[in-house]
Amino acid sequence: MLFHPYEIAVCGFSGSGKTTLVSAIISRLSRRFRVGCYKHGCHRFDIDREGKDSHTLKKAGAATVMISDPEKKAVISGTGNRQISERMVFLDCDMLLVEGLKELPLPKLLMLDRERKILDLLDAGSIPQPVALVSTCQETGPIESRYNLPVFHRDDIDTITAFIESFLAEKVSQTPLSGLILAGGRSRRMGTDKALLSYHDKNQILHTATLLKKHCREVFLSCRSDQEALYTSFGIPVITDRYLETGPAGGLLSAQHHHPQTAWIAVACDMPFLDAALFARLVENRMPLRFATAFRNAGTGKLEPLCACYEPKSRAELLTSLAEGNGSLQAFLACSRIGEITIRDGKPVSSVNDPETMQQAMLACSSGNPEPL
């Protein structure tokens, strides 16, 4: 990844029609996705001009100038090593199309010029990671056979767009999905460890793990370091908190630190009414190009952060929020581009935090009528 987890470039010599093709692809993809675009120019360009306020401020010595109006903003800075900042700019997009940068290790569609001179660079190994070729010729069989790559006609926009969607979908499918049981709380209101309570035939750790294993490659248990010895006895891999006193966000970030390319279904240990159908609904409606997918309670209107799927790219945003003093997962979901699943069928995602509610939950689970409390 250079700029975005789901990126693909369109490359070719000047005059090969890159911008026209990229614009047409964006027009189609943007009907269903939020698409970012990074255009690399070989020639010098000016976003501001002499006489404009931004130009005056930059010339006066400002290292970075931001200009904004009610609809848009622009940042003018030097080139430097700003790759991390560039990644953050595009994270809110579902995918990124890059125009140019044929020498960089990006998956790319390579546009053939009329004389096909760009194939000399390809033969020399100067263009890494081509995934398809784009030509203006009708006869593409010899090229396709020679390079073992699909070849598309430049005007066949729908087919090229479908290829890009398929390529990115394949990348999504390669992202591991793991479960994370959040059990690092101190259970002060309950007065006893909530993770060890048994509403079903097993305690909450083992019960929740059983539900997650139906959908996840692996299941991990998040806890404090002083809980590790006890929790390890349940046979579930333990990830201890690296981010102390930061609540559930710290548990999630600790898991993301160990497995940064994994998507996580993060679940609190104190939700006895979760069931297989609810997890199946979350997985089936997961939107992996966004930061997360979460349930919204139709009754309260609130998002549920402790039974949600967090994608790998959420890590950078969560770390930024934490650095700014906001470790709330609910606040993160509320201000991020996420997938939402509305709960209208009475399936609860409520936590049980005190002895009185625990007794009610015990009775509801034993009667086989797990309605919301």
Residue 273 has pLDDT above 90, yes or no: yes
**In CATH, what number is assigned to the domain containing residue 112?**
3.40.50.300
Domain boundary among 173, 198, 223: 173
Bridge partners, residue 182, by sequence: 222, 268
Neighbours of 198 (CB within 10 A): 14
Residue 278 has pLDDT above 70, yes or no: yes
How far, in Å, are 44, 95, 260 from residue 8 at the CA level?
24, 8, 21
Mean pLDDT of 131-148: 84
One-letter identity of residue 91: L
Asked if residue 229 belongs to a domain, the reply is yes
* Rounded-to-integer distance, Cα 260 and Cα 264, Å: 10
Mean pLDDT of 91-105: 95
Which H helix or E strand runs over 20? Answer: helix 18-29
Judgement on whether residues 91 and 236 belong to the same structural domain of the protein = no
Identify whether the C-beta of residue 189 lies closer than 8 Å to the C-beta of residue 57: no
* Rounded-to-integer distance, Cα 103 and Cα 128, Å: 7
Identify whether the C-beta of residue 207 lies closer than 8 Å to the C-beta of residue 361: no
Domain count across the chain: 2
Triad 208, 212, 217: Cα angle to 5°? 145
* Rounded-to-integer distance, Cα 221 and Cα 227, Å: 11
Judgement on whether residues 96 and 225 belong to the same structural domain of the protein = no
Asked if residue 320 belongs to a domain, the reply is yes
Query: What domain range includes position 314?
Result: 177-366
Asked if residue 305 belongs to a domain, the reply is yes
Judgement on whether residues 158 and 196 belong to the same structural domain of the protein = no
Domain boundary among 127, 157, 173: 173
> What was the pLDDT predicted at 88?
86
Judgement on whether residues 251 and 344 belong to the same structural domain of the protein = yes
Judgement on whether residues 219 and 346 belong to the same structural domain of the protein = yes
Judgement on whether residues 190 and 165 belong to the same structural domain of the protein = no
Question: What is the 3-state secondary structure of 164-232?
Answer: HHHHHHHHHHCCCEEEEEECCCCCCCCCCCHHHCCCCCCCHHHHHHHHHHCCCCCEEEEECHHHHHHHH
Query: Which residue would you say has higher pLDDT here, 66 or 276?
Result: 276
Share of residues in the chain with pLDDT > 70 (%): 93
> What was the pLDDT predicted at 29?
98
**In CATH, what number is assigned to the domain containing residue 357?**
3.90.550.10
Residue 371 has pLDDT above 60, yes or no: no
Residue 363 has pLDDT above 60, yes or no: yes
Domain boundary among 173, 206, 230: 173
How far, in Å, are 195, 220, 347 from residue 223 at the CA level?
10, 10, 27
Contacting residues for 3 by C-beta, under 8 A, at least 6 apart: 38, 83, 86, 87, 90, 96, 98
Q: Among 249, 308, 315, which Cα is nearest to 5's? A: 315
Asked if residue 132 belongs to a domain, the reply is yes
> What was the pLDDT predicted at 270?
94
Q: Among 36, 44, 37, 46, which Cα is nearest to 19's? A: 37
Q: How far does Cα 11 stand from its chain's mean position? A: 25
Judgement on whether residues 217 and 146 belong to the same structural domain of the protein = no
* Helix, strand, coil share of the chain (percent; to 5): 35, 20, 45
Asked if residue 372 belongs to a domain, the reply is no
pTM of the shown model: 0.90
Asked if residue 1 belongs to a domain, the reply is no
Judgement on whether residues 319 and 246 belong to the same structural domain of the protein = yes
One-letter identity of residue 44: R
Which H helix or E strand runs over 109? Answer: strand 108-111
Asked if residue 371 belongs to a domain, the reply is no
- Cα dihedral sign, 214-220-222-227: positive
Q: Which range, of 63-67, 105-109, 233-237, 292-296, averages the lowest pLDDT? A: 63-67
Q: Which range, of 52-56, 172-176, 294-298, averages the lowest pLDDT? A: 52-56
pLDDT for 3-36, tens place per residue?
Answer: 999 999 999 998 889 999 999 999 999 999 999 9
Judgement on whether residues 47 and 166 belong to the same structural domain of the protein = yes
pLDDT for 38-89, tens place per residue?
Answer: 998 656 666 767 878 888 888 888 888 888 888 888 887 776 656 667 788 8
Judgement on whether residues 64 and 145 belong to the same structural domain of the protein = yes
Question: What confidence tier does 238 reach under pLDDT thresholds 50, 70, 90?
Answer: very high
Judgement on whether residues 167 and 271 belong to the same structural domain of the protein = no
Judgement on whether residues 119 and 193 belong to the same structural domain of the protein = no
> What was the pLDDT predicted at 242?
93
> What was the pLDDT predicted at 324?
92
DSSP 226-271: GGHHHHHTTTS-EEE-SSTT-THHHHHHHHHHH-TT-EEEEEETT-
Residue 373 has pLDDT above 60, yes or no: no
Asked if residue 60 belongs to a domain, the reply is yes
Which H helix or E strand runs over 147? Answer: helix 141-147
Question: What confidence tier does 102 reach under pLDDT thresholds 50, 70, 90?
Answer: very high
Structure-token match 């993809």, residue found? 29
Residue 367 has pLDDT above 90, yes or no: no
Share of residues in the chain with pLDDT > 90 (%): 71
> What was the pLDDT predicted at 139?
67
pLDDT for 309-346, tens place per residue?
Answer: 999 999 999 999 999 999 999 999 999 999 999 998 65
Q: Which range, of 30-44, 92-106, 200-214, averages the lowest pLDDT? A: 30-44
> What was the pLDDT predicted at 44?
64
Average pLDDT score, the chain: 90
